[in-house]
Chain A
Amino acid sequence: MEQNAALLVKERQLVVPGEVLARGLEWLPSAGCYRANNEVRAKQLGLVRLKERFVGVVPLAGVYVPRPGDGIIGVVNDIQSTFWIVNINSPYDSILQLGEAVGEYVDTTKTDISVYYDIGDIVYAKVLAVSRSKSVQLTMNDYRAKKLAGGRLMHITPSKVPRMIGREGSMIELIKNKTGCQIVVGQNGVVWLKGEKEALAAKAVLTIEAEAHIEGLTDRITKLLEEGV
């Protein structure tokens, strides 16, 4: 077979489904891509990511698909005798096992585990494992994992989470400093806010969601927060 291997895209280039990203067997399709004979093509709308021989696409739209290691915010949906079912803003519900949530021995015959987490509780947890059939397990065995008491939840598009956080957390720091609110952002696009000026912080979150793609976002958010003060 003729081998004229070539990469046709640049790192972070915007591509649409069906677009040819590379030719030849030198390049391998990773997430968001597929191989069609001699070509690697995109199957989602997003930005190209290159790593060694792998060509991938980071999607700019779509629902949250959990991956091991993600820090997410979930809401406890249901309690069974030894685990909780947590809604993580994804097509798949997740399971938080008792052993992954509580650091002590619990006699399930005598204890109602709702004393630890009850229905409606908000948790920041880590995705422990995702099976092939997308059954998701969470863990609280992480230094960041905790129950989030009170506050309010907001939902943003999962692909806009990096903008919400900003480079090295700059955006989130900005909102925290200007409003004095506590803010936690989950990689599933759920944002938790708590504090005196919650409404102002919420406004900033909505602005980021609406204007994430327009340049000068940080300046506009700074202005918005200062006017609000």
Chain B
Amino acid sequence: MGGNKVGAPEALIVHGKRLDGRTPDQFRPMTIEIGTLKRANGSATFKFGGTHALAGVMGPRPYHPKALQDPQRTIVEVSYAMAPFSTKERSRPGRSRRSTEISKVINEALANVIVAEDYPRTGTELFLVILEADASTRCAAINAASLALADAGVPIKDLVISCSVGRADGTLLLDVAGLEDNYGDVDMAVATIAKDDKIVLLQVDGIITKQEFMTLLEMAKSGCAQIYDKAKAKLYEKYAAAPSEEVI
């Protein structure tokens, strides 16, 4: 399908390898950093190769206007935004149809794990900024968000971990990137709660058979499990040397 569009490469898969040299079931190099921002209650950055997401959590803090406070739980507000310089062509800053939708689906995915009842009458704001975009931005944003929530001490039942899968030139791929996103046939974002084998976000773009879909889903699940282990290890690393002796 790739060859039909203007500017498309000859082939997206050459000798079983992808354009960036990865095998079909290989991730781009991942970088995770926790506690990136000083002023936020919790923060994290998550990178999939050229996709760079930054998450900051403010709260739980008093929610205003007071009339809209929920006496039972904290109100979680998610705002996903792409920085104007994140893409090749300048992307218009501010809200867009796309960012509103992504904020909503991320909020709904995270609502499955946030224990909102622990902080009644408050608001928790989650800011997600894509500093550099190279496909799978919502997946990187979800991963950063989970880690930032953990860093902020917001009670969560588990980390929500996400990755993308797709198809290009008839090959099923893990972690769709760059030209594969632009000229591939299928792009699917999956977010999971690994421990309970639950899927909390699933968006597919393209036409696929049931067989392919099931295979892609399994690929995404095992991909998420890999990221989960890395994310957890990062959290341990940051807090490993935390105070352990003194008590009041």
- Interface residues, chain A, CB within 8 Å of chain B? 12, 14, 16-18, 20, 32, 34, 36, 41, 43-45, 47, 59-63, 65, 91-93, 132-134, 159-163, 165-167, 171, 187, 212-215
Q: Would you call the interface of chain B mostly helix, strand, loop, or mixed?
A: loop
Q: Which residues of A contact B60 (CB under 8 A)?
A: 63, 91
Contact check: which of A34, A43, A133 meets B71 at CB < 8 Å? A133
Known: A43-B115, A91-B119. A32 touches B155 (CB 8 A): yes
Known: A18-B195, A91-B59, A91-B122. A12 touches B155 (CB 8 A): no
The 0/1 profile, CB within 8 Å of A marked 1, for residues 226-248 of chain B is: 00000010011001111111111
Q: Which are the 9 A-B pairs with shortest beta-carbon distances?
A: A62-B153, A18-B158, A61-B153, A43-B155, A91-B122, A213-B241, A16-B235, A17-B156, A91-B60
Contact check: which of A14, A43, A167, A187 meets B156 at CB < 8 Å? A43
Q: How far is the CA of A133 from the CA of B193 in the complex (A)?
A: 29
Q: Would you call the interface of chain A mostly helix, strand, loop, or mixed?
A: loop
Q: Contact between A45 and B235 (Cβ–Cβ < 8 Å)? A: yes
Complex A-B: 29 CB contacts under 8 Å: A14-B240, A16-B159, A17-B157, A18-B158, A18-B159, A18-B193, A34-B115, A41-B157, A41-B195, A43-B155, A43-B156, A45-B153, A47-B244, A60-B153, A60-B239, A60-B242, A61-B150, A62-B152, A62-B153, A91-B119, A132-B120, A159-B243, A161-B248, A162-B246, A163-B243, A166-B246, A167-B247, A187-B248, A213-B239
Query: Residue on A with the closest CB to B119?
Result: A91
Sort chain B's interface into a size bin: 35 or more
Total A-B residue contacts, Cβ distance less than 8 Å: 112
Q: In this assembly, does B86 line the interface, its C-beta being within 8 Å of a C-beta of chain A?
A: no
Known: A14-B236, A91-B59, A93-B62. A47 touches B158 (CB 8 A): no
Q: How far is the CB of A30 from chain B (nearest CB, A)?
A: 13
Given contacts A133-B121, A167-B247, 20 further A-B pairs with CB under 8 A are: A14-B236, A17-B155, A17-B158, A43-B115, A43-B155, A44-B150, A61-B151, A62-B41, A62-B153, A91-B59, A92-B121, A93-B62, A132-B120, A133-B120, A162-B248, A165-B246, A167-B245, A213-B241, A213-B242, A213-B243
Q: How far is the CA of A171 from the CA of B120 in the complex (A)?
A: 35
Q: How far is the CA of A161 from the CA of B243 in the complex (A)?
A: 10
Q: Which residues of B contact A160 (CB under 8 A)?
A: 243
Contact check: which of A47, A59, A132 meets B153 at CB < 8 Å? A59
- Interface residues, chain B, CB within 8 Å of chain A? 41-42, 59-62, 71, 113, 115, 119-122, 150-159, 193, 195-196, 232, 235-236, 239-248
Q: How far is the CB of B161 from chain A (nearest CB, A)?
A: 10
Q: Which residues of A contact B62 (CB under 8 A)?
A: 91-93
Q: How far is the CB of B144 from chain A (nearest CB, A)?
A: 15
Q: How far is the CB of A204 from chain B (nearest CB, A)?
A: 16
Q: Which residues of A contact B154 (CB under 8 A)?
A: 62
Q: Which residues of B contact A171 (CB under 8 A)?
A: 246
Q: Contact between B157 and A34 (Cβ–Cβ < 8 Å)? A: yes
Q: Which residues of B contact A92 (CB under 8 A)?
A: 62, 121-122
Known: A162-B243, A213-B242, A215-B241. A63 touches B157 (CB 8 A): no
